[in-house]
Amino acid sequence: MQIAVVGSGYVGLVAAACFAEIGHEVICVDNDQRKLEALQRGEIPIHELYLPELLQKHRGNRLRFSSCLREAVQCSSVIFIAVGTPPLKNGDADLSYVEGVAREIAQSLNGYKVVVEKSTVPVYTSEWIRRVMRLASCSGNDFDVVSNPEFLREGTAVTDFLYPDRIVIGADNERTCELVKSLYLPLVNGAYYSHPDRIPEPTKITTGAKMIVTSAKSAELIKHASNAFLAMKISFMNAVANLCESVEADVEEVKAGIGSDRRIGSQFLNAGIGYGGSCFPKDVAAFRSVAQEAGCPILLLDDIIKINADQKKRFVHKVREALWTLRGKRLGVLGLAFKGGTDDIRESPALEIIQQLLNQDSSICAYDPAAQRRAHEVLGNSISYASDPYEVAEGADALLILTDWEDFASLDLGRLKKLLRYPIIIDGRNLYSCEAMKEYGFQYVSIGRPNVELSAPAVFDREAALSAIP
């Protein structure tokens, strides 16, 4: 089938590449000419596993890039809207980009089309798209609007698309529903998984996606409710971690007990410095705004947001406690992205913590395997940047772990100790065991676990020593 995907951000670019991978002809449309030229040269604007392989495989064949939305609409049967919906100051989603695309689609129609909202949007957006298109002098019989939310995690977006646990289609008539379902058929009937050159499946994944058909309004709510629930799990576990610190319990032990319950599961129960990225902060705020506007406020969402904000402040307090004063301290920071596996720094807890430390006159040297260029665009030269984790540690008063990159969990601890000015590690992601830190002689501060303190030297007892002399 011929598909147009409007937007070449995380969602649009991954969707376009993956639709090409399962056999469709795809035009990816963007109005950023520099980005389009880079994509046409084969340059990848984001750090995403398997995305370079897919673009190399399909670019110029099943996948092409264009700045002309009219052309893409007229030669496609299905048009996906995958543009940004950034937050406004009041927490609402900014739908101006969605509206602009919908209007231009309406003015470009040359026959029946299905318009699919792929961006994360609040409930009623499908109705607004339909209204905008009709106001743009478009007959209601020339198009249908469907909600098809994405459930992609940055860092694993390609495998999340190709090996989904569910595909949600919110359609208000059977004809449209069947058309959109047919797009995903290779993932539902398993045909894609028989290809020898398929993208490898993740571990513990069963192939063959579950198809969930709902109304458009329900599909829109599913996306926001899903992200809010996952954010709630993170904030809940961080609140439990804070309680563990107060009563000298171990949050990792508590997590093992909670996560073993099949009704709860172990995912999104890692205590840390809070969630970030382009989805959770924006979507929780937008969901709260939607609920308030509908007269059904969900007060729990206020607590989720507050706990997440407080968690970063608590971490800075841990750093200050470990070093007594932050003024003039040189801090080594591991991690700038909001999580491992991506170069995305949007709403990154690491960047917010760094800014708080800079405000208290610390100097910072940081390293991230993928996000340094993007971080420099925000932080500029207010910090220095290292070429590897060990350069970060050299001469630092303490080492801070702020992003859960796998490489950061397997560093040479003996080498780190020799490089640090003081053997202090403050771990915002609980990447190391307290036992390992004690074995290597570190003062170790983590989240929701007892601190590992440096062993005090034995006190010389003069009287006992004299009495022992024969």
Question: Cα separation of 86 and 279, whole Å?
Answer: 10
Question: Cα separation of 269 and 389, whole Å?
Answer: 27
List 244, 279, 365, 434, catalytic entry = 279
Query: For the chain, what is the radius of gyration of the CA atoms?
Result: 26
Three-state secondary structure of the chain: CEEEEECCCHHHHHHHHHHHHCCCEEEEECCCHHHHHHHHCCCCCCCCCCHHHHHHHHECCCEEEECCHHHHHHCCCEEEECCCCCECCCCCECCHHHHHHHHHHHCCCCCCEEEEECCCCCCCHHHHHHHHHHHCCCCHHHEEEEECCCCCCCCCHHHHHHCCCEEEEECCCHHHHHHHHHHCHHHHCCCHHHCCCCCCCCCCCCCCCEEEEECHHHHHHHHHHHHHHHHHHHHHHHHHHHHHHHHCCCHHHHHHHHHCCCCCCCCCCCCCCCCCCCCHHHHHHHHHHHHHHCCCCCHHHHHHHHHHHHHHHHHHHHHHHHHCCCCCCEEEEECCCCCCCCCCCCCCHHHHHHHHHHHCCCEEEEECCCCHHHHHHHHHHHCEECCCHHHHHCCCCEEEECCCCHHHHHCCHHHHHHHCCCCEEEECCCCCCHHHHHHCCCEEECCCCCCECCCCCCCCCHHHHHHCCC
What b/e readout covers 297-306, taking b as 16+ CB neighbours within 10 angstroms? ebeebeebbe
Please state the length of the chain. Answer: 470
Give the C-alpha distances (Å, rounded to integers) separating 350 from 94, 311, 325, 333: 25, 12, 20, 9
The one-letter amino acid code at 47 reads H
Question: Cα separation of 397 and 461, whole Å?
Answer: 32
Neighbours of 195 (CB within 10 A): 12
Start-to-end CA distance of the chain, whole Å, equals 97
Active site residue 279: yes
Residues labelled as active-site residues = 279
